[in-house]
């Protein structure tokens, strides 16, 4: 095992460093970490006060999570303004930020990325909320720090670290509709320099079926388990070690009906993450972080026929190995952060000829410049050098201006990119039933020649050229907002604009003798999204908090606008059935985007009886899923998914500060739309018991 060897070497190296250090007196002020103001790390990779971050950022605390009674990451994210959960292939849910698809958001746990996007999205229900300290969501392109995939934003899940110098923990059990069970256990032990913790979670559900007439349920039963042990060891105030590893295993029924025949099998996911981070404070001004991260994501599924013979088998096995060194220099009130690192990534999967290896090196630098008490500016860039695609330089500049005690102005301009994924470069897939073929860009040329030699190709399409490497999808992101905070009122308003170019899509490259097409991936589309996000909270009285969130969104395809301009797109008048030219205002935009999303939250705390009530109402305006009138675009004459409301209620009572009973219902009014919305299950009633010890 190469990775193990690396780890061993690293630990060996570490021990040398450790013994070479002069152990300094432990800082007695370690409890002072309870800051008066919320601090985030995702935006700049250093701790920074939320109010001074010049980017649109959202922080969801453990307390926020607890007061919703949710169990999985997707559920809590779905309750936030501007984050939209959309169903993806295979029943998972991906996240839409600023109108951009789930493939464009980077998901991190304790600062390191999760992998395993077999079809572009990462299933967020994989992550239990049981040991989350807080979730930081940075909206807008963040490639200047995080490289590929951080195009729409970054979600960083920060796990809990106990501050209490003793043995402590908590146990929670949640039983919910659809036979859903969720059990979490946190055990923490801290003694001076050593902090250890282990988190375990078991989740199971019998899934649900929205269509009573369907033979196969909407979501098949599944269960999963998470184990996450962590060690923190402070060799001294100046040298701190953090080791974390996470195991995840999921098992789900896999059933299918193909040409009237029943097939049955199982699909499993196994994930492993291991992170080792050493923080070394050279002096008051310089701190270095050495981080080694390795992760493996493995998915296997099979289907057997009714005679229990193997019919179909798929596998997906991805490795990522990533060492990174970051150094922070304090220069008066400003801060310079630099980093270098490398990505070694492999993928072996069904429909790949061979295992594929990606190698990339990167460096980044960021200057967090405090000009005076009012103006803070962050300038940064990252350079990614990659073996498979064109190297990327991702700059970003942002500014925070405190107008007065109440108002602050924020703006940022940044570049984001998403590298072509393994599938877009190396896929070699022929549909056995229909006969079409999809070839990854890097192998298409040679495979096409082979198919030609075999006499399978009738003609090649002209204008198909593979001489230049496939370009990463890239974006220019602009945010500008203003915030207001005074006494009991907090208002944040942000406007955003994203221009994405070189979007990768399939295009026909040749026609087979069978009449079916051969596809490959190309940089085709340009899209843009813009809109506005508003978040307000108002503390009406002690214990009664009202908040309102709203997002307005427009997301469109430039080439469609061009075609409309040229009068090439038509629709039929629904009454007369006559064709007419689609006008600009008839074009609704991209699929699965709602113009308006909003939420209202009322939180009421009754201290006398230790009871909390949290009522949330969510609204999503109409959106289109398909082009129903066959003109290839979504226009006002298509059939839309109707707007809807969801209402979630949560009640909790704490007894003797140790025991909490929580109950509630998500989707109280049992809204479902079986034909069009697969990820809304209907009413879910839950009961959760928690013991803190």
Partner 1 sequence: MFKLSFFKYSILALVVLFSACTKKETAPEPVSALEIKTFSNLSAPQTGGNGQPTGGVFTRFSFSENAVVTNNNWDIAFRGTTILVNGGTQIGITDEPTRTGNAGVSIVSGTLESVTSIPNASTFVQDATAIYAIPTGSNNGWYNYNATTNIISPIAGKVFVVKTYNGKYAKFEILSYYQNAPTTPSASSVSKYYTLRFVYQPNSNTSF
Q: By CB under 8 A, name the binding residues for partner 1.
A: 484, 489, 491, 493, 532, 534, 536, 538, 548, 552, 554, 567-572, 574-581, 583-585, 629-631
CB of 390 to partner 1, least distance (A): 35
Question: Rounded to whole angstroms, how far apart are CA atoms 147 and 570?
Answer: 41
The pair of three-digit structure tokens given for residue 77, joined into one six-digit string: 């994210």
Nearer to partner 1, 476 or 491 (CB): 491
Question: Rounded to whole angstroms, how far apart are CA atoms 158 and 317?
Answer: 26
Residue 34 burial by CB count (10 A; 0-12/13-18/19+): exposed, middle or buried?
exposed
Nearer to partner 1, 387 or 584 (CB): 584
Question: Rounded to whole angstroms, how far apart are CA atoms 370 and 126?
Answer: 39
β-pairing verdict for 392-402 and 407-418: antiparallel
Q: What residues contact 398, with CB distance under 8 A and at least 6 apart?
A: 54, 55, 377, 378, 410, 411, 412, 413, 414
Nearer to partner 1, 548 or 671 (CB): 548
Nearer to partner 1, 353 or 567 (CB): 567
Q: What residues contact 70, with CB distance under 8 A and at least 6 apart?
A: 76, 79, 129, 666
CA 350 from chain centre, in angstroms, equals 25
Question: Rounded to whole angstroms, how far apart are CA atoms 384 and 89?
Answer: 30
Question: CA 374, 376, 382: angle at the middle one, nearest 5?
Answer: 175
CB of 567 to partner 1, least distance (A): 8
Nearer to partner 1, 587 or 650 (CB): 587
Nearer to partner 1, 321 or 496 (CB): 496
Nearer to partner 1, 367 or 538 (CB): 538
Give DSSP secondary structure letters for 98-148. Answer: TTB-GGGEEEEETTEE----TTS---GGGSBSTTEEEEEEEES--HHHH-T
Nearer to partner 1, 354 or 578 (CB): 578
Q: What residues contact 68, with CB distance under 8 A and at least 6 apart?
A: 75, 76, 79, 614, 616, 648, 650
CB of 547 to partner 1, least distance (A): 11
Question: Rounded to whole angstroms, how far apart are CA atoms 390 and 418?
Answer: 12
Give DSSP secondary structure letters for 426-470. Answer: HBEEE-TTT--EEE-HHHHHHHHHHHHHTT-EEEEPTT---SSPP
Segment 633-636 long-range contacts (CB within 8 Å, at least 24 positions apart): 633/557, 633/560, 633/563, 633/564, 633/569, 633/582, 633/587, 634/587, 634/588, 634/589, 634/590, 634/591, 635/569, 635/571, 635/582, 635/586, 635/587, 635/588, 636/586, 636/588
Report helix, strand or coil for 560: helix
Q: Answer whether 470's CB lies under 8 Å from 445's CB.
A: no
Q: Answer whether 54's CB lies under 8 Å from 265's CB.
A: no
CB of 309 to partner 1, least distance (A): 29
Nearer to partner 1, 282 or 580 (CB): 580
CB of 680 to partner 1, least distance (A): 21
Question: Rounded to whole angstroms, how far apart are CA atoms 663 and 691?
Answer: 15
Nearer to partner 1, 23 or 499 (CB): 499
CB of 574 to partner 1, least distance (A): 6
CB of 577 to partner 1, least distance (A): 4
Nearer to partner 1, 401 or 548 (CB): 548
Counting every residue written for the chain, the total comes to: 693
CA 349 from chain centre, in angstroms, equals 22
Nearer to partner 1, 467 or 584 (CB): 584
Question: Rounded to whole angstroms, how far apart are CA atoms 416 and 403?
Answer: 29
Question: Rounded to whole angstroms, how far apart are CA atoms 89 and 397?
Answer: 36
Residue 574 burial by CB count (10 A; 0-12/13-18/19+): exposed, middle or buried?
exposed
Nearer to partner 1, 241 or 571 (CB): 571
The pair of three-digit structure tokens given for residue 488, joined into one six-digit string: 């009991």
CB of 245 to partner 1, least distance (A): 46
CB of 675 to partner 1, least distance (A): 11
CB of 548 to partner 1, least distance (A): 8
Nearer to partner 1, 469 or 532 (CB): 532
Nearer to partner 1, 449 or 568 (CB): 568
CB of 204 to partner 1, least distance (A): 33
CB of 505 to partner 1, least distance (A): 18
CB of 237 to partner 1, least distance (A): 45
Q: Answer whether 79's CB lies under 8 Å from 92's CB.
A: no
Nearer to partner 1, 32 or 575 (CB): 575
CB of 489 to partner 1, least distance (A): 5
- What sign results for the dihedral spanned by CA atoms 34, 39, 41, 42? positive
Give me the residues paired with residue 253 across strands: 266
CB of 485 to partner 1, least distance (A): 12
CB of 488 to partner 1, least distance (A): 9
């Amino acid at each position: 095992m190469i990775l193990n060897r690396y780890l061993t070497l690293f630990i060996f190296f570490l021990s040398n460093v450790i013994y070479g250090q002069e152990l300094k007196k432990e800082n007695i002020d370690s409890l002072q970490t309870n800051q008066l103001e919320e601090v985030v790390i995702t935006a700049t990779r250093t701790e920074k006060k939320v109010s001074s971050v010049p980017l649109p950022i959202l922080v969801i605390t453990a307390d926020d999570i607890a007061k919703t009674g949710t169990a999985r990451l997707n559920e809590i994210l779905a309750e936030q303004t501007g984050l939209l959960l959309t169903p993806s292939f295979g029943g998972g849910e991906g996240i839409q930020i600023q109108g951009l698809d789930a493939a464009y958001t980077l998901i991190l746990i304790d600062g390191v990325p999760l992998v395993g996007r077999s079809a572009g999205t990462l299933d967020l229900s994989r992550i239990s909320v049981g040991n989350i300290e807080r979730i930081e969501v940075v909206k807008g392109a963040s490639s200047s720090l995080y490289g590929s995939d951080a195009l729409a934003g970054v979600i960083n899940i920060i796990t809990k670290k106990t501050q209490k110098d003793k043995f402590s923990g908590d146990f929670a059990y949640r039983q919910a509709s659809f036979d859903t069970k969720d059990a979490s256990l946190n055990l923490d032990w801290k003694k001076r320099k050593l902090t250890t913790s282990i988190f375990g979670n078991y989740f199971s559900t019998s899934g649900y079926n929205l269509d009573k007439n369907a033979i196969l349920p909407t979501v098949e039963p599944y269960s999963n388990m998470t184990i996450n042990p962590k060690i923190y060891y402070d060799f001294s105030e100046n040298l701190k070690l953090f080791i974390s590893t996470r195991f995840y295993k999921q098992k789900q029924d896999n059933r299918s009906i193909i040409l009237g025949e029943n097939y049955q099998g199982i699909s499993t996911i196994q994930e492993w993450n291991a992170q080792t981070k050493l923080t070394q404070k050279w002096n008051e001004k310089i701190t270095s972080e050495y981080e080694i991260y390795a992760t493996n994501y493995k998915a296997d599924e099979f289907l057997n026929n009714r005679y229990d013979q193997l019919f179909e088998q798929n596998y997906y096995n991805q490795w990522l190995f990533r060492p990174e060194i970051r150094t922070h220099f304090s220069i008066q009130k400003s801060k310079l952060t630099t980093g270098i690192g490398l990505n070694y990534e492999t993928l072996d999967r069904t429909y790949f000829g061979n295992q594929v290896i990606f190698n990339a090196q990167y460096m980044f630098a960021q200057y967090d410049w405090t000009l005076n008490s009012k103006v803070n500016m962050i300038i940064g860039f990252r350079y990614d050098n990659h073996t498979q695609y064109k190297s990327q330089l991702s700059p970003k500049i942002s500014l925070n201006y405190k107008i007065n005690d109440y108002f602050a102005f924020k703006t940022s301009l940044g570049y984001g990119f998403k590298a072509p994924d393994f599938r877009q470069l190396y896929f070699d897939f022929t549909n056995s039933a229909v006969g079409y073929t999809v070839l990854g860009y890097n192998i298409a040329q040679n495979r096409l020649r082979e198919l030609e030699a075999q006499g399978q190709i009738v003609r090649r399409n002209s204008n198909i050229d593979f001489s230049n490497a496939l370009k990463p999808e890239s974006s220019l992101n602009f945010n500008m907002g203003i915030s207001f905070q005074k006494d009991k009122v907090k208002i944040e308003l942000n406007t955003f604009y994203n221009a994405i170019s070189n979007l990768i899509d399939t295009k026909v490259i040749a026609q087979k003798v069978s009449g079916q097409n051969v596809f490959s991936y190309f940089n085709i589309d340009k899209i843009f999204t813009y809109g506005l996000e508003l978040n307000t909270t108002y503390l009406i009285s002690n214990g009664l908090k009202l908040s309102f969130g709203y997002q307005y969104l427009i997301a469109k395809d430039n080439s469609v606008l061009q075609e409309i301009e040229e009068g090439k797109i038509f629709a039929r008048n629904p009454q007369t059935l006559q064709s007419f030219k689609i006008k600009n205002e008839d074009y609704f935009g991209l699929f699965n985007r709602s113009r308006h999303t909003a939420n209202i939250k009322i939180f009421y705390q009754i201290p006398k009886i230790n009871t909390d009530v949290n009522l949330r109402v969510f609204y999503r305006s109409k959106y289109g899923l398909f082009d129903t009138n066959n003109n290839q675009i979504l226009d006002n004459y298509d059939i839309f998914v109707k707007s809807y409301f969801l209402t979630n209620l949560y009640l909790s009572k704490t007894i003797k500060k140790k025991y909490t009973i929580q109950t509630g219902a998500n989707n109280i009014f049992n809204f479902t739309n079986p034909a069009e919305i697969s990820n809304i299950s209907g009413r879910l009633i839950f009961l959760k018991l928690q013991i803190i010890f």
